[in-house]
A = this chain, B = another copy of it.
Amino acid sequence: MTSPFRAPIGLRLTNTARAASRAFDDALAAVGGSAPIWQILISIKSRQLGNQRELAEAVGIQGATLTHHLNAMESGGLLTRRRDPANRRVHVVELTEEGELLFHRLREVAIAFDARLRAGLSEEQIAAFEQVLTRLAENVRD
């Protein structure tokens, strides 16, 4: 008995993700954004208050890496950082109006991109797909 050929599932996963990420990056860049900027903006919007440590964790990067992005975003006029009077070690991050505008532009792009990805796929297919993603993440975490 020869065992059936199985393509490495991780390779298929990362190849597809890479293709999708590139297309998404292009779409974000077309309106002046990028993937990390988008993720950071989402995190800032979804939890108004929270220190950078939490922010970094939410985005899945190190604190210093977050600082790197925040520096660029602050230089770009997307956000401000000020010390929290209650605990002056904490830097409170807030979006400027320009940052808000970019967030909304990027959200439009993200919504359109999501619709594009879902084309031709049923709710059931996607639900099953997400279940497998969840399991893969668990299998990797151990």
Residues of chain A touching chain B, judged by Cβ–Cβ distance below 8 Å, are: 6-10, 12-21, 23-24, 60, 110, 113-114, 116-121, 125-126, 128-133, 135-142
Contact = CB atoms under 8 A, between A and B. Distances in A.
Contacts of A135: 120-121
30 contacts: A6-B114, A7-B130, A8-B113, A9-B118, A9-B130, A10-B20, A10-B21, A10-B24, A10-B113, A10-B117, A12-B133, A15-B60, A16-B137, A18-B60, A20-B136, A20-B140, A116-B139, A116-B140, A116-B142, A117-B139, A118-B139, A119-B139, A120-B135, A120-B138, A121-B132, A121-B135, A126-B132, A128-B128, A128-B132, A129-B132
B132 A125 contact: yes
Nearest to A126: B9
Looking at chain A's contact residues, the main secondary structure is: helix
A20 B13 contact: yes
Contacts of A16: 13, 17, 133, 136-137
A118 to B, nearest CB: 6
